[in-house]
């Protein structure tokens, strides 16, 4: 009986340690007035180029970690190739205290040519790590500006493209999938 009691106590202590080391749940303060920047409107500077030194501040690293943990499953378990952190492409745009992050599955990382449908997301994260807005592909955009036709310019926090996915061609989808048909003008009557 005493041995069972000590084993039970050890398991409870270890469980408490494991729980204490896991990340706290992410608090989301959904602010539909925040608009995402045009993530694909200009070329990104790729990190990881051999021989090049890059600097990443702690706030940006925290924001990337928060967004990745929110979108993708825990990496402690066996996950499919498309759900691994290293199988994603990340784009970051910093505007003041807001860090905008776009995460898309990179099908090349898993030997495919096309990503899974609805496999990406856009995040607006405050520099302190709070998710202020999250838009996961396939979910409706509940932005206050989603249907307002708000003109946009990249530069001020919350003033960018109302449709982050239509800001330029995605490098992950064939161009033929991204157009709305022929760009030919409609004949005048």
- Per-residue confidence in pLDDT tens, the chain, 189 aa: 555 444 444 433 443 443 333 344 456 778 989 999 999 998 988 887 788 888 889 999 999 999 999 999 887 778 888 889 999 999 999 999 999 999 999 999 999 988 888 789 999 999 999 999 999 998 888 775 555 554 433 333 343 333 444 455 555 555 555 555 555 555 665
DSSP assignment letter at 62: H
**pLDDT at residue 189 in the model:** 55
Helix (H) or strand (E) holding 125: strand 121-126
CA–CA distance, 136 with 123 (Å, rounded to integer): 8
- In residues, how long is the chain? 189
**pLDDT at residue 61 in the model:** 95
**pLDDT at residue 54 in the model:** 86
Token digits of residue 148: 């307002």
Measuring CA to CA, which residue among 156, 174, 172, 116 is closest to residue 33? 156
- CA geometry: angle at 43 spanning 121 and 52, to 5°? 100
Please give the C-alpha separations between residue 63 and each of 88, 92, 94, 162, 182, in angstroms, as whole numbers. 15, 9, 10, 21, 39
Measuring CA to CA, which residue among 132, 123, 127 is closest to residue 164? 123
**pLDDT at residue 152 in the model:** 38
pTM score, whole prediction: 0.65
- Residue whose token pair is 């838009």: 135
**pLDDT at residue 23 in the model:** 44
């Amino acid at each position: 009986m005493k041995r069972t009691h000590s084993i039970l106590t050890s398991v409870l202590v270890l469980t408490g340690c494991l729980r204490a080391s896991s990340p706290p749940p992410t608090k989301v303060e959904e602010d539909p007035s925040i608009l995402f920047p045009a993530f694909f409107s200009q070329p990104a500077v790729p990190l990881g180029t051999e021989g090049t030194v890059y600097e990443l501040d702690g706030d940006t690293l925290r924001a990337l970690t928060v967004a990745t943990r929110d979108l993708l499953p825990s990496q402690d378990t066996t996950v499919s190739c498309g759900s691994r952190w290293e199988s994603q492409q990340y784009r970051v745009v910093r505007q003041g205290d807001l860090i905008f992050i776009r995460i898309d599955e990179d099908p090349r990382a898993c030997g495919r040519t096309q990503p899974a449908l609805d496999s990406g997301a856009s995040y607006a994260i405050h520099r302190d790590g709070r998710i202020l807005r999250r838009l996961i592909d396939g979910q409706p955009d509940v932005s206050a500006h989603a249907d307002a036709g708000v003109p946009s310019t990249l530069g001020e926090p919350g003033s960018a493209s109302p449709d982050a996915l239509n800001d330029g061609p995605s490098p992950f989808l064939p161009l033929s999938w991204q157009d709305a048909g022929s760009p030919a003008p409609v004949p005048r009557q």
